Amino acid sequence: MTFLPNYLNSILKAAAFCCLALTLLPAYAQDAPKQGNHGINVANMDRSVKPGDNFWLYCDGDWIKRTEIPPDRARLSVFSTLDDLSNKRTAALIDELAKSNAPAGSSKRKIADLYNSYMDEAAIDAKGLAPLQPHLKAIAAISSKKELAYALGQTLRADVDALNNTNFHTPHLFGLWVAPGFNDSDHYAPYLMQGGVQLPDREYYTSDNEHMRDIRAQYQTHVSAMLKLAGFTDTDARAQRLIALEHAIAEKHLTLAENDDIHKANNTWTQSDFNTKAPGLDWAEYFRGAGLAKQASFIVWQPTAFAGESALVESTPLETWKDWLAYHVLEEYAGYLPKAFSDESYAFFGAMLQGAPQQRPRWQRGVMVVNRYLGDDVGQIYAQRYFPPEAKAQADAMVANIIAAFRKRIDALDWMDPKTKAEAQAKLTTLYVGIGYTESWIDYSGYEVKPDDVFTNVWRGKLFQYHRQVARLGKNVDRHEWSMTPQTVNAVNLPLQNALNFPAAVLQPPFFDPKAPAAANYGAIGSVIGHEVSHTFDTEGSAFDSKGRVRNWWTDADLAHFEAATAKLAAQYDAYQPFPDLHLNGKQTLAENIADVAGIAASYDGYHASLAGKSAPVQDGFSGDQQFFIAFGQNYAAKGRDAALRQQVMVDSHSPAQYRASTVRNIDAWYSSFDVRPGETLYLAPDERVRIW
Ligand SMILES: [Zn+2]
């Protein structure tokens, strides 16, 4: 469970269209952090707004007014500004490596070669569709459903992630996630998940909303155009049939809210179970194609989707499936094919779905490609250069304070049974907190990179990651393993490992500034830390015990209390309505909203503990507590295009920024800090405020 939506995973088809990372530094970058001034940024606030009416605008209103979203962006935020910094640094590192003329086969040379192979547009255009032709020919040669099953198996990749970087979307028929087993958390197990559609979520196929109908009409035009570019004939009819197939697949899918239920996901199937529980697809051929013929069993996340999708393999004509395969491989690799493909793909998935008319500059996309396929090699140098031991020590101390605050809060809960409390405390004791960077870097020596062939570099990169994951099946779990590179601006809780990662790139001003008052650091990065710690105890995290096993360690009464409190929180977020025809889904965002509420509460306590009885310094006329809450609100300075905001509401487990900033309405101290009174928009009577941890 991450702190921020992972736009890279959800939107990026070919590492071509990222939405959170990278920019030409916008105006905002020049004023945050302020020179010679550390702590909250009063120039970003709009003090004409009452904090109790709209805390987000109060903290960020002037920034929102003066910020313009550049044409290559779907959204800007305080996080994207830090991403820009991280990417500029990474680009400079890559540039140095490229000039160092490192020996062939060395990791430095691979980084340079991968980046340069992406940057060489002339070489990519000159090759035309040639790199993809062998794959298209193989698809054209499929002559039976048995061969189709094998070919579908060959597309399986390690491209989904249910609980860490949370990504439930794969365009391949199914997706593989290798992680500690639900029932044996000491060993890695294979989780299989539903897939098979290109649009971001089933809602895009099934919703009757006018906006969605418009997207579907444009999708038909886009699919036809892609097929035409690749030399197919009769493309309108082919597009119509393969979209009808995607629609049928989407109808079998579980919703995002349903995917969050661990207990429904814990289904162990042997290979023969697939034949009886999900007949249609030739499973033996599928697993042979995937290189998993010897894997005895799998955990199937969405059994009904597997049954439905497998039946569709049998009932849908072979030719439709072949068109589906051809279009899917074209779309997946469009960013590494000649400009016409890349532009057509972006026009739909970037400009149409996200609202940003222009692609990012190519160098920024090149950095993303390197981060995706050689991220740890770059990260190792990045961490050495940009994360000094002093910063690590100070971040360690904050984490310790916030975890101590969490412990006290658990002890003080009047509704919780002592036995449940003891297991909650045990979870905090075994929690591994990674600060800055991993202790064991990924070894990419098995990944071959060629200087002038980005298509096969990316193809092999995905295969390398897949084989690396498959090779881990059945092996002992490394609880200290990281799931983020140090240059990533985000944070994550890994529930099956009972571990947290805070990458170096997020431990930077304005979130974390060693020179800022404690109030600002605890309000900003402290709430992020608290958020990740509390994922340990959200609706999903609380399903796992201190060893990462799925085990109910709750008494019935405790669970009933927890469920009542969380239902109240879900209702609070259900009521938010960013568009007249679109509400937030309180259940889909529940785990993240719990983490936001519990995170700020624990960080507030940690802040007070850090003062050790001394009074806090006043800054710009704001008390320590006021600075704490304003710093929290300033985490959510963000501006997005309507299309991007709609997509987030529909496909993401994180609430949009303005509602995350409103989390404060559940915290008593916020009311006294800003004199918030009944009648103001965000006001909640004391018994309506949600207190969970
Ligand atoms: Zn989170």
Q: Rounded to the nearest whole angstrom, what is the distance from the C-alpha of residue 161 to the centroid of ligand 1?
A: 14
Q: How far is CA 360 from each of CA 33, 232, 522, 562, rounded to the nearest angstrom?
A: 24, 29, 33, 44
What pLDDT does residue 7 have? Answer: 55
Q: Rounded to the nearest whole angstrom, what is the distance from the C-alpha of residue 653 to the centroid of ligand 1?
A: 8
Q: Rounded to the nearest whole angstrom, what is the distance from the C-alpha of residue 502 to the centroid of ligand 1?
A: 12
Q: Rounded to the nearest whole angstrom, what is the distance from the C-alpha of residue 342 to the centroid of ligand 1?
A: 32
What pLDDT does residue 514 have? Answer: 85
Q: Rounded to the nearest whole angstrom, what is the distance from the C-alpha of residue 228 to the centroid of ligand 1?
A: 42
> Which H/E stretch holds residue 561?
helix 556-574
In this predicted structure, the answer to whether residue 392 has a pLDDT above a threshold of 50 is yes
Q: What mean pLDDT comes out for the span 346-374?
A: 96
Query: What gap in Å lies between CA 418 and CA 416, rounded to an integer?
Result: 6
Q: Rounded to the nearest whole angstrom, what is the distance from the C-alpha of residue 179 to the centroid of ligand 1?
A: 18
Q: Rounded to the nearest whole angstrom, what is the distance from the C-alpha of residue 406 to the centroid of ligand 1?
A: 17
Query: What gap in Å lies between CA 54 and CA 633, rounded to an integer?
Result: 10
The tokens describing 614, both together, are 């001394």
In this predicted structure, the answer to whether residue 13 has a pLDDT above a threshold of 70 is no
Mean of the per-residue pLDDT values for the chain?
Answer: 93
Q: What mean pLDDT comes out for the span 409-425?
A: 94
Query: What gap in Å lies between CA 578 and CA 558, rounded to an integer?
Result: 34
Q: Rounded to the nearest whole angstrom, what is the distance from the C-alpha of residue 534 to the centroid of ligand 1?
A: 9
How far, in whole angstroms, is CA 158 from its chain's centroid? 15
In this predicted structure, the answer to whether residue 23 has a pLDDT above a threshold of 60 is no
DSSP, collapsed to helix, strand or coil, labels residue 522 as helix
What pLDDT does residue 137 have? Answer: 98
C-beta separation of 110 from 378 below 8 A: no
Residue-wise pLDDT tens digits, 476-501: 999 999 999 999 999 999 999 999 99
Q: Rounded to the nearest whole angstrom, what is the distance from the C-alpha of residue 654 to the centroid of ligand 1?
A: 7
Q: Rounded to the nearest whole angstrom, what is the distance from the C-alpha of residue 531 to the centroid of ligand 1?
A: 6
Q: Find tokens 């895009």 and name the residue.
A: 204
Q: Rounded to the nearest whole angstrom, what is the distance from the C-alpha of residue 594 to the centroid of ligand 1?
A: 9
Residue-wise pLDDT tens digits, 183-223: 999 999 999 999 999 999 999 999 998 999 999 999 999 99
Q: Rounded to the nearest whole angstrom, what is the distance from the C-alpha of residue 592 to the centroid of ligand 1?
A: 5
Residue-wise pLDDT tens digits, 28-79: 233 333 335 799 999 999 999 999 999 999 999 999 999 999 999 999 999 9
What pLDDT does residue 6 have? Answer: 63
Q: What mean pLDDT comes out for the span 562-579?
A: 96
Max alpha carbon distance in the chain (Å)?
77
Closest CA to 583 of 593, 575, 571: 575
C-beta separation of 173 from 195 below 8 A: yes
Q: Rounded to the nearest whole angstrom, what is the distance from the C-alpha of residue 613 to the centroid of ligand 1?
A: 31
What pLDDT does residue 28 have? Answer: 29
Cβ < 5 A residues, ion ligand 1: 1, 592, 595
